[in-house]
Amino acid sequence: MIAPLSSEALILGGGLAGSALAIALAEAGRSVVLVEKNKEAQHKVCGEFLSPESLPLLHRLGICPDYLGAQTIHSTRLVTREVLAEVRFPAPALSLTRRVLDEALLQRARQVGVNVHRGWTAERLDHSESSNHWRAQVSDGCELMFIEGESAFLATGKHGLRGWARATKGTQNNLVAFKMYFAFSPEQQKQLAGYVELILFPGGYAGLQMVEGRCANLCAVVTKEKLQQPGAGWDSLLDYMLRHSDHLARRLNGSVPMLERPLALSAIPYGYCMNGPIEILSPWRIGDQAAVIPSFSGDGMAIALYTARRAAQLYLSGYSAADFHREIRKQFHSRLYFGSLLSRLVTAMPSLGYVARIWPSVLLGIFSATRVPDTAPVS
Ligand SMILES: Cc1cc2nc3c(=O)[nH]c(=O)nc-3n(C[C@H](O)[C@H](O)[C@H](O)COP(=O)(O)OP(=O)(O)OC[C@H]3O[C@@H](n4cnc5c(N)ncnc54)[C@H](O)[C@@H]3O)c2cc1C
């Protein structure tokens, strides 16, 4: 049997939250092992809108999205059949594909001394009372191995680890997500450049924005009920969205899909925020393991980075996972509740978007109310 790897901190999952935490701990001189199940960075179901709040958190980790090809997003447009309202953000946001961003963070983690294992899947995690250590069973597809750590951090995103499922569900659990890239002509790029367009339709909503090069990201969520209608799938959903939005139909006219098939994700626990009992003996949960905000807010990545940063700060100051979970619940609970209430309302009644036509500032208010807390200590 292979002797177990061991380290002070054991991080399961190398998305934004896992890599961000690994970098922070390694920079503080701690020994860190991180396991990520994918061998290479993958496309992920994500609108790829990097909110203004996420940018200082990335810069602190030594990541500069502009150098990676990110595009500036200065405004949002709310769209049903046509554009209802347009609002400029208080500070610029960016857009960047997750494949590029996640790779950059993992590379950075390696650079600062994290022991990164890609292509390793964590299969279980146990705590030994006698040694007061955590032990993860991981597989590289051929062999089973063990890694031990004084502390364990769960950063596996929306999907949990056997034995460590979230105690409760989200508050909006009936949405399915799809993402597709489209190659845009220079004229189409010019019309969309600088904007993230939020397109509302009965049963769901979609975000459309340019990412790197000539590539536009269309990321949609729709209720399972809508999708279960006869013949439903990506093609019929796209057709349905185009029938409900002349604006989207014009945007996509003549563009070319860039993926063989769309990426899809179901069982998204929107609105989840540590709403179960706080477990005393638990790995630290960060990123989507701690809180899942509905995607229209475009702040999920900022929450992943913020929870990673805050976990590192509290861990290094001697606090426990339970202390951290209590703080996160306090900071995010009402924001997530409000965000998923809005998400439920607009999927049920997209005509509510007309309120923003009368009072465009409502859009800005909603944007602010679903942000990472202002009080977030990012230093
Ligand atoms: C439809 C949709 C659109 C979104 N749009 C936006 C947006 O525009 N802007 C924004 O800020 N946020 C957006 N989000 C939210 C954002 O994508 C997430 O909040 C963010 O990715 C969370 O980061 P994370 O590190 O917690 O999880 P992830 O990025 O999912 O990373 C988890 C990692 O863990 C790995 N993993 C999983 N299980 C295991 C295992 N057993 N062993 C080892 N590794 C494992 C996975 O491979 C993955 O790399 C959107 C979400 C959805 C669903």
pLDDT in tens, 32-75: 999 999 999 999 999 999 999 999 999 999 999 999 999 999 99
Count the domains in the chain.
1
Which residue has better confidence, 294 or 26? 26
Cβ(210)–Cβ(95) below 8 Å: yes
Distance 96 CA to ligand 1 centre (A): 14
Q: Does the C-beta of 221 come closer than 6 Å to ligand 1?
A: yes
Does residue 242 sit within a domain?
Answer: no
Reduce the DSSP state of residue 309 to 3 states and report it.
Answer: helix
Distances (CA, A) of 184 to 181, 193, 211: 9, 11, 11
* pLDDT over 70, % of the chain: 92
Does residue 85 sit within a domain?
Answer: yes
- Give pTM, 2 decimals: 0.95
**What pLDDT is stored for residue 159 in this prediction?**
80
Nearest residue (by CA) to ligand 1, atom 26, is 287
| Cα 33 from Cα 146, distance rounded (Å) | 12
Distance 159 CA to ligand 1 centre (A): 9
Q: Does the C-beta of 200 come closer than 6 Å to ligand 1?
A: no
Distance 372 CA to ligand 1 centre (A): 17
Q: Does the C-beta of 287 come closer than 6 Å to ligand 1?
A: yes
Ligand 1 nearest-atom number relative to CA 307: 26
Which amino acid, 181?
Answer: Y
Cβ(8)–Cβ(32) below 8 Å: yes
DSSP 280: S
Q: Tell me the best of 21, 156, 221, 293 to mutate to test the pocket of ligand 1, counting ligand atoms within 8 Å of each CB and taking the most.
A: 156
Distance 82 CA to ligand 1 centre (A): 31
Residues 6 or more apart whose CB falls under 8 angstroms from that of 264 comprise 45, 176, 177, 178, 179, 234
Residues 6 or more apart whose CB falls under 8 angstroms from that of 303 comprise 287, 290, 291, 293, 332, 372
Does residue 217 sit within a domain?
Answer: no
Q: Does the C-beta of 122 come closer than 6 Å to ligand 1?
A: yes
**What pLDDT is stored for residue 358 in this prediction?**
67
Q: How confident is the model at residue 226 (pLDDT cuts 50, 70, 90)?
A: confident
Does residue 182 sit within a domain?
Answer: no
| Cα 100 from Cα 103, distance rounded (Å) | 5
What is the average pLDDT across 355-362?
69
Does residue 209 sit within a domain?
Answer: no
Supply the mean pLDDT for the chain.
Answer: 90
Structural domain of 94: 5-170+268-369
Does residue 210 sit within a domain?
Answer: no
Does residue 32 sit within a domain?
Answer: yes
Q: Which tokens go with 109? A: 């983690």
Q: Does the C-beta of 353 come closer than 6 Å to ligand 1?
A: no
Ligand 1 nearest-atom number relative to CA 292: 19
Q: Does the C-beta of 34 come closer than 6 Å to ligand 1?
A: no
| Cα 373 from Cα 35, distance rounded (Å) | 29
DSSP-assigned states of every residue in 130-193: TTTEEEEEEE-SS-EEEEEEEEEEE--TTS--TT---SS--SB--EEEEEEEEEPPHHHHHHHT
| CATH number, domain with residue 130 | 3.50.50.60
Does residue 211 sit within a domain?
Answer: no
Ligand 1 nearest-atom number relative to CA 290: 26
